[in-house]
């Protein structure tokens, strides 16, 4: 009765790809006409079959042609249902996505929501897997958890009903599936124990090769060094495993009073209780798909801070499609495919746990210093003369900036590793032009390689000759449409393919390219199901990675791509530190690339959301990240830009960006007043560059985040647990955005400081910057780019603690290259002690490394109660030994 099932599915699937491509190209055309762009299909308020419970003997979940659906639904006594949370109630239209050949159409079914029942009939389609959406009526949804059920009432043809793909509610409602527990069964915990001090590894009994467990997120294998008994598996933070057909689940209890954080790139608040995050890297323009529950990256990691301030972290070590849900005192990880390992990291506090995470999954490599500067981007600055004009405008207006970005339009018809001969005919000359003015150029490279049999495109020809492309379920080279049209995609699970990809960077970097932007690498495929490859595509693997389907390796596709990109850049420029920015990544990917939070919007909501998003990535092992300042999509007004840049220059990654068709978003684009606001914000960043570089270097050694939540100032302070508007940079600098009201502040001394003469209490846009009591924050002069000149004048911003003391650190090296790994750096610890009412003693408490700074003077600023008192030391060398006694003068009441 299901004859020719596979062939019919494939034919129908191909037709649907062509249709979706037309839709996407139509949307892109809208962009060129100044319209906004978004997903072709709204997948909010959708009940997917992966969340369904089958109630009866004759139906099952089917995966064919890159689609999931309920099939073989052959008897009247089998119904299906979802457990659904109605977050926002109201009246909603109901749409059913179903398929049945026309000769079998007309079967009756009931759609039941509480005491409401809609009756409908199946509608004929081309084949069993050619789905069409049909409106069946309206229901009223009340807030709370409800059951939504579908059941057949009459078959037109005995034992033939329909295939069901999804149910969608349309209206001013918010609905989400919450899953069903009944179809999971417990399984025993297998061989488990300690793999590091304070790190426990749990394996379900279904894992048969514990010693050979494959993990891409971990730096190295994790053999068990001490097994624990059955009795030791029953304490707090231990793991319970379950499974059903095709999925595995692990549950970890959250202790009473504990707060949960993490999950990587996520929307929503910093504290994650009551939130579900989906692990399926997705091109999610403006975060609208699935209401932002899945974005571009996967970080299967959560951290719990207990009531007493101690903490533990949980890693679910799987690359498969999955999710994590935090609810009812539990963290629940669920993944398709194979059984997975869970690691529990115990710590005295959040810092201890995060350092353990860095030890296991790797730490960010120290970037070149120029990557810490302000960066300007647009889709796209074209032609090359426009790029030069933007750079010149920054210098003319004295607006500090280090990087100009080249988006996709620089390429020859979107062929990666090429340059448009008309618009960018001399890329090396352009990069030289930028370098001479203190700029670096970062250029985009996507994974999709244009299928081109006619023009002599070397990348496609060499890749085809080496047979590097991903193949579909039939073993044919997979083709999917992206910007160039038909594309093929490297299989990065293969070592030889990564080697080939890395080799492409030699000639490319020789054009003077300073940094690389790997975009669209989820991978995004316009013509693919769910805007990516079919899950049934095949990956061959290598000695390190087992062969598998795209369902298993989708979430690490971008991770493996940037691994190869970084390797290629290092070979091409062995004396320079590479800078790679990626849109898609995976836990552990901080070893290879920085990231940003994707295609956000120019709205107040996304401005405020940028803080918890950046914080959560930092709490998930990725210190070098930030949002597009001002928002990527939609029109931006000067007021919002001023608010955003007023605190946004304190993010780890600082880039202004704008989408094609949107208004100009450079700092001068909004008039003189906003330009002045931008200049102050940028000058504050550049004055703080010595502190930022010091914090970055520490992050590269420890794995600790650069931008930190307020609760890391005092993990025992319950009032800080939910604060996600203000934040810390390192441990000594607090940033309070001007728009943030009633901010929860840690106890102790935190003193507001002025960096470039801004009047602290009169500021409308600039964030309130506070220095911790007992800290010394090193600063330099205002510069137009990071290496405009050496740190010839050092300023120490001092806030004394209750005992009249302060301590701080400054890290220095060449700013690029690898000499620092051979001891060519200088880490200096300064100490200040109040000597009297007007005098202080300043000295160097310790120095490490062989880097030799130039002779410089040191300005000491001591802040207290909004007032600054200053002293000057003409020679830093005088701070050696017993140091210098400094008389403070120049009292300035900045708070008035």
Rg (the chain; Cα; Å): 29
Residue with tokens 């244009």: 450
Give the integer Cα–Cα distance in Å for 190 and 202.
7
Half-sphere exposure of 167 (CA within 13 A, CB side): 27
Q: Are the CB atoms for 214 and 231 separated by under 8 Å?
A: no
Distance CA 416, CA 501 (A): 11
> Pick from 313, 312, 329, 346: which is nearest to 273 by CA?
329
Identify whether 599 is a catalytic site residue. Answer: yes
Q: How far apart are CA 491 and CA 471, in angstroms?
A: 8
What are the helix and strand counts (H, E) for the chain? 13, 55
The first and second tokens of residue 520, run together, are 């669209």
CA-to-CA distance for 258 and 106, rounded, in angstroms? 53
Give yes or no: 758 in active site: no
Q: Which residue has the tokens 């596979």?
A: 6
Helices (H), 662-793: 672-687, 689-702
Identify the DSSP state of 43.
Answer: -
CA dihedral sign of residues 178, 181, 182, 183: positive
In the three-class reduction of DSSP (H, G, I as helix; E, B as strand; rest coil), residue 309 is classed as coil
Closest listed residue to residue 121, CA positions, set 139, 91, 98: 98
Q: Please tell me which residue in 409, 412, 522, 816 is annotated as part of the active site.
A: 522
Q: How far is CA 293 from the centre of its chain?
A: 13
Annotated catalytic residue 683 = no
Q: Identify whether the C-beta of residue 730 lies closer than 8 Å to the C-beta of residue 695.
A: yes
CA 734 – CA 725 distance, rounded (Å): 11
Fill in the DSSP letter of residue 292: G
Catalytic residue among 552, 599, 732, 809: 599
Which of the residues 127, 271, 384, 519 is marked catalytic? 519
Structure-token match 């290092």, residue found: 570
Chain CA centroid to CA 866, Å = 37
State phi, psi for 96 to the nearest 5 degrees.
-115, 125
* Burial profile 367-378: b = 16 or more Cβ within 10 angstroms, e = fewer: bbbbbbbbbbbb
Look at the chain and count its residues.
Answer: 896
Other Cβ atoms closer than 10 A to 819: 14
Which residues does the annotation mark as catalytic? 519, 522, 599
């Amino acid at each position: 009765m299901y004859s020719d099932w596979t062939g019919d599915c494939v034919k129908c699937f191909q037709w649907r790809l062509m249709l979706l491509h037309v839709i996407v190209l139509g949307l892109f055309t809208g962009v060129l006409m100044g319209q906004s762009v978004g997903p072709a299909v709204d997948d909010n308020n959708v009940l997917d079959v992966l969340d369904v419970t089958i109630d009866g003997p004759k139906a099952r979940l089917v995966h064919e042609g890159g689609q999931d659906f309920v099939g073989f639904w052959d008897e009247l006594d089998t119904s299906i249902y979802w457990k659904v949370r109605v977050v926002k109630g109201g009246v909603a239209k109901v749409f059913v996505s179903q398929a049945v050949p026309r000769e079998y159409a007309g079967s009756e079914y009931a759609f039941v929501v509480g005491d409401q029942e809609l009756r409908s009939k199946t509608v004929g389609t081309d084949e069993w897997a050619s789905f069409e959406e049909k409106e069946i009526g309206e229901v009223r949804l009340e807030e709370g958890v409800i059951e939504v059920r579908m059941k057949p009432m009459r078959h037109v043809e005995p034992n033939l009903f329909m295939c069901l793909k999804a149910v969608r509610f349309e209206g001013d409602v918010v609905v989400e599936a919450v899953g069903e527990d009944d179809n999971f069964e417990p399984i025993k915990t297998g061989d488990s124990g300690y793999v590091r001090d304070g790190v426990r590894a749990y394996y379900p009994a279904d894992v048969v090769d514990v010693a050979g467990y494959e993990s891409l997120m971990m730096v190295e294998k994790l053999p068990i060094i001490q097994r624990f008994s059955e009795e030791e598996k029953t304490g707090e933070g231990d793991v319970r495993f379950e499974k059903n057909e095709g999925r595995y689940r692990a549950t970890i209890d959250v202790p009473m009073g504990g707060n949960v954080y993490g999950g990587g790139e996520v929307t929503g608040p910093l504290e994650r209780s009551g939130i579900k995050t989906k692990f399926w890297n997705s091109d999610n323009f403006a975060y609208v798909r699935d209401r932002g529950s899945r974005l571009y990256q996967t970080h299967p990691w959560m951290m719990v801070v207990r009531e007493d301030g101690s903490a533990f972290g949980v890693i679910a070590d799987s690359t498969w499609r999955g999710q994590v849900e935090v609810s009812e005192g539990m963290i629940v990880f669920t993944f398709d495919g194979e059984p997975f390992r869970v690691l529990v990291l115990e710590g005295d506090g959040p810092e201890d746990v995060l350092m353990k995470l860095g030890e296991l999954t790797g730490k960010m490599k120290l970037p070149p210093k120029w990557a810490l500067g302000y960066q300007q981007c647009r889709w796209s600055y074209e032609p090359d003369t426009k790029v030069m004009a933007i750079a010149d405008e920054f210098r003319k207006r004295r607006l500090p900036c280090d990087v100009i970005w080249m988006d996709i339009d620089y390429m020859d018809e979107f062929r990666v590793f090429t340059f448009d001969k008309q618009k960018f005919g001399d890329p090396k000359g352009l990069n030289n032009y930028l370098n001479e003015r203190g700029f670096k150029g970062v250029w985009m490279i996507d994974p999709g390689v244009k299928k081109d049999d006619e023009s002599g495109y070397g990348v496609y020809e060499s890749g085809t000759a080496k047979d590097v492309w991903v193949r579909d379920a039939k073993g044919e080279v997979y083709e999917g449409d992206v910007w160039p049209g038909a594309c093929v995609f490297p299989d990065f699970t293969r070592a030889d393919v990564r080697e080939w990809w890395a080799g492409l960077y030699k000639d490319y970097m020789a054009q003077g390219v300073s940094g690389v932007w790997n975009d669209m690498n989820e991978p995004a495929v316009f013509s693919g199901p769910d805007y990516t490859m079919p899950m049934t595509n095949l990956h061959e693997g290598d000695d390190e990675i087992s062969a598998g389907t795209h369902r298993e390796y989708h979430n690490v596709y971008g991770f493996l791509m940037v691994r190869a990109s970084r390797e290629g850049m290092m070979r091409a420029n062995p004396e320079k530190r590479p800078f790679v920015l990626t849109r898609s990544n995976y836990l552990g990917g901080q070893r290879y690339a920085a990231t940003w939070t994707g295609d956000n919007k120019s709205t107040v909501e996304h401005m405020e959301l940028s803080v918890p998003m950046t914080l959560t990535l930092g709490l998930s092992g990725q210190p070098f990240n930030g949002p597009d300042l001002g928002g990527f999509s939609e029109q931006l007004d000067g007021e919002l830009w001023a608010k955003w840049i007023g605190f946004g220059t304190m993010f780890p990654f600082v880039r202004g960006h704008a989408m094609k068709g949107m208004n100009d978003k450079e700092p001068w684009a909004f008039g003189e007043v906003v330009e002045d606001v931008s200049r102050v914000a940028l000058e504050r960043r550049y004055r703080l560059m010595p502190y930022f570089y010091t914090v970055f270097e520490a992050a590269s050694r420890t794995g600790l985040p650069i931008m930190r939540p307020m609760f890391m100032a005092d993990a025992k302070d319950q009032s800080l647990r939910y604060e996600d508007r203000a934040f810390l940079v390192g441990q000594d600098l607090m940033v309070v955005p001007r728009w943030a009201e009633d901010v929860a502040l840690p106890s102790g001394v935190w003193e507001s400081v002025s960096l470039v003469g801004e009047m602290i209490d009169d500021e409308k846009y600039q964030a309130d910057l506070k220095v911790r009591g007992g800290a010394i924050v090193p600063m330099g002069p205002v510069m137009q780019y990071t290496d405009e000149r050496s740190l010839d004048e050092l300023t120490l911003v001092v806030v004394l603690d209750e005992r009249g003391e302060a301590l701080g650190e400054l890290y220095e090296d060449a700013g690029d290259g690898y000499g620092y790994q051979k001891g060519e750096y200088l880490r200096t610890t300064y100490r200040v002690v109040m000597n009297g009412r007007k005098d202080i003693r300043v000295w160097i408490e310790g120095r490490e490394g062989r880097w030799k700074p130039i002779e410089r003077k040191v300005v000491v600023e001591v802040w207290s109660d909004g007032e600054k008192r200053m002293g000057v030391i003409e020679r830093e060398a005088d701070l050696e030994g017993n140091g210098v006694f400094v008389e403070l003068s120049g009292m300035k009441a900045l708070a008035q």
